[in-house]
């Protein structure tokens, strides 16, 4: 989006944090190496605009009509899964999934989960992501293939990666799903 601002396709404005006169943000002030701090805070320093660590002085605004026209002109992203839509509409769920995929999943030590527990190791370093067949996913989750496909249709189970005519699931996503379910149980 910063490039759209830098070429003047959308006008941007700044207003002092405490209120005051609105000023135009020149296009050149968007020619930054990393505009992310501005987008994250919606603010910048008017006098030291190039310095991400400078004390914030102004809120950023865009011309609403220009923004709406630009947004309407974008090509659609294509069909999104229910899980992708949920991540967009509920960023907290996306964050919970991200944290869960990084965390070590703790599974009960009951005999019925022994096999699953042995599979709950992260992807081997330097090898790349571990892909799982449907049978392996069923074994790990202790669920039937029809239940997995039903939950995928509902958007609550990770989608597979298509490799030619076969489907494979990322082990890290399946483990994140398991951790998410465990967190729901623990939080209820």
Predicted confidence (pLDDT) per residue in 96-120, tens digit? 666 665 543 444 334 434 444 444 4
Same domain, 109 and 126: yes
Q: What is the C-alpha to C-alpha distance for residues 94 and 51, in angstroms, rounded to an integer?
A: 30
Q: What is the C-alpha to C-alpha distance for residues 69 and 25, in angstroms, rounded to an integer?
A: 20
Q: What is the C-alpha to C-alpha distance for residues 188 and 171, in angstroms, rounded to an integer?
A: 26
Per-residue pLDDT, 116: 43
SS3 63: coil
132 in Cβ contact with 140 (< 8 Å): yes
For residue 129, the 8-state DSSP code is P
For residue 82, the 8-state DSSP code is H
Same domain, 37 and 92: no
For residue 159, the 8-state DSSP code is P
Same domain, 47 and 19: yes
- Whether the per-residue pLDDT at 130 is higher than 50: the answer is yes
Q: Judge if pTM exceeds 0.75.
A: no
pLDDT band for position 68 (50/70/90)? Answer: confident
- Picking from 182, 132, 184, the residue whose alpha carbon sits closest to that of residue 159 is 132
Per-residue pLDDT, 106: 41
The larger pLDDT score, comparing residue 181 to residue 159, is at 159
Location of structure tokens 């989750």: 141
Q: What is the C-alpha to C-alpha distance for residues 131 and 123, in angstroms, rounded to an integer?
A: 9
Q: Which of 23-37, 122-136, 149-163 has the highest mean pLDDT?
A: 149-163
Per-residue pLDDT, 110: 40
User: Percentage of residues in the chain with pLDDT exceeding 90?
Assistant: 26
In sequence order, the 6+-apart residues with CB closer than 8 A to the CB of 174 are: 132, 137, 140, 141, 158
Cα end-to-end distance, the chain, whole Å: 40
- Whether the per-residue pLDDT at 27 is higher than 50: the answer is yes
Q: What is the CATH number of the domain that holds 107?
A: 1.10.1660
User: Percentage of residues in the chain with pLDDT exceeding 70?
Assistant: 76
Same domain, 61 and 115: no
Which residues form the domain of 56? 2-73
For residue 28, the 8-state DSSP code is G
Mean pLDDT of 8-14: 87
Per-residue pLDDT, 17: 93
Same domain, 67 and 89: no
Give the H/E segment covering residue 164.
none
Per-residue pLDDT, 77: 66
Instruction: Quote the number of domains for the chain.
Output: 2
157 in Cβ contact with 148 (< 8 Å): yes
């Amino acid at each position: 989006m910063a490039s759209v601002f830098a070429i003047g396709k959308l006008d941007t404005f700044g207003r002092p944090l405490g209120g005051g006169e609105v000023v135009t943000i020149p296009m050149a002030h968007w020619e930054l190496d990393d505009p992310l701090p501005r987008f994250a805070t919606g603010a910048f320093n008017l006098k030291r605009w190039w310095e991400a660590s400078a004390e914030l002085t102004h809120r950023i605004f865009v011309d609403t009509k220009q923004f709406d026209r630009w947004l309407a002109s974008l090509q659609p992203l294509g069909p999104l899964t229910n899980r992708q839509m949920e991540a967009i509409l509920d960023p907290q769920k996306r964050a919970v999934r991200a944290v869960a995929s990084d965390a070590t999943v703790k599974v009960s030590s009951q005999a019925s989960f022994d096999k699953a527990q042995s599979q709950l190791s992260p992807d081997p370093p330097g090898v790349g992501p571990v892909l799982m067949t449907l049978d392996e996913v069923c074994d790990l989750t202790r669920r039937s293939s029809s239940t997995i496909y039903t939950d995928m249709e509902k958007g609550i189970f990770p989608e597979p990666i298509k490799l030619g005519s076969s489907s494979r699931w990322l082990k890290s996503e399946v483990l994140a799903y398991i951790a998410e379910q465990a967190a729901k149980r623990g939080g209820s």
